[in-house]
Structure 1
Amino acid sequence: MKKMGESQVIQFFAGVLADEMRSAFGLECQYVIGNFSASQDRKFADFFAGTESVNILIEFKEFKKEYCDEIKKPLREKLCKTLTKDISNLSRSCHFIGWGTAGYNLSVELNPYIDLVCPLWGCTEHLDLPADYFYDSFINAFVKGSLGVSYADFVRYIEHLNRTAGGDASGDEAPFRSILFSRDNSGKIIANRFYNLRELRTLSSLKPASKPRLSSGPGLSGP
């Protein structure tokens, strides 16, 4: 397959995710999608998504074989070489790597980041065997709240990544810039900038009462 760029994979995934959010929660839904760039993608990931209950980070590649390019990133090497059991469990629940599949119709597969990438540096302690998941079951689990981590746990992971990158701010205050999408009283989509997770938490509380959440479904199942 000829390259078209990983941005095509991100755009497809983000579009499906937004559509599923609207289908599940209607016009009252509020969600965060961040397509990171510059220093943010080196420190955190390419993509961030969050709801009022769960949050995830995703590093995207156009094709799976390109996950080997992560070996060029010193911050990821440091993450992998300093893993503890606690951080591994936390990372596996909220930090993923995804790629587009070959073929006429674009599809996306994902895997917990550390389980696929950390063996590139010979790091195997605290890891599980890589397990690829299709984007539809992945997004369904995220929307239902059975995939991802809570705000408090996500702040803790962001703090760890920030410290790994040499930062000293807390997880709440670490530079983390993205967009919160919601609708105003007329139903128009509005996009509010935030610059750290504390600001996101404040923005998320400024909304009308939402519809009842979907009950949590089962976790992921492999392809």
Structure 2
Amino acid sequence: MAAVLTVVGVIFLGLVVLVVFGVGIYNKLVTLRNRFRNAFSQIDVQLKRRYDLIPNLVETAKSFMAHERETLEAVIQARNAAQSANQRAAQNPGDAQAIQGLMGAEAALTGSLGKLFALSEAYPELKSDKTMSGLMEELTSTENRIAFARQAFNDAVTTYNTARESFPAVLFAPTLGFQPAMLFEIQNPTEREAVRVSFG
């Protein structure tokens, strides 16, 4: 009888250790997931700031570049698409498809802004306009903040993915609902740098 109780005690103790171990893994993954979600919220803040600046930038440019209407409209359309993609990604930064959509929309916006800035080189009055210079300076600052926020997010995602894929967490993570998170990278290698906005 004592031997049976010992075996039951060992099994019970093993189950308790396993449960405690599983709870520890779960709590670690929750903490790391919350960190990358919080890091994305910093990207969200900076992207919203960028989206708010773009209509003012286009409106100012419109007064100097009236016949470049197609380019100006393309910038606004790309901005609206990026803003919509950002809203989807902000709802769940762990959703790989939402992050992928945001990366594509941001690449398109960066491309259309690049065309606007290239065209604006032909308008010296626009380059010397104080409102435009102020907006460009603010946009440059915002682009830098986005780059820093994106790096912090990618670091947090890498830490989370590493913990999720490490043994023994890899055995429990999918069952507990922890899916891999996607890095927020710029898709086009030619767009690795922030939009250049020198107007001086």
Q: Same fold, TM exceeding 0.5?
A: no
Larger radius of gyration: 2
- Higher relative contact order (CA closer than 8 Å, sequence separation 6+): 2
Greater strand share, 1 or 2?
Answer: 1
Structure 1 length-normalised TM: 0.28
Structure 2 length-normalised TM: 0.30
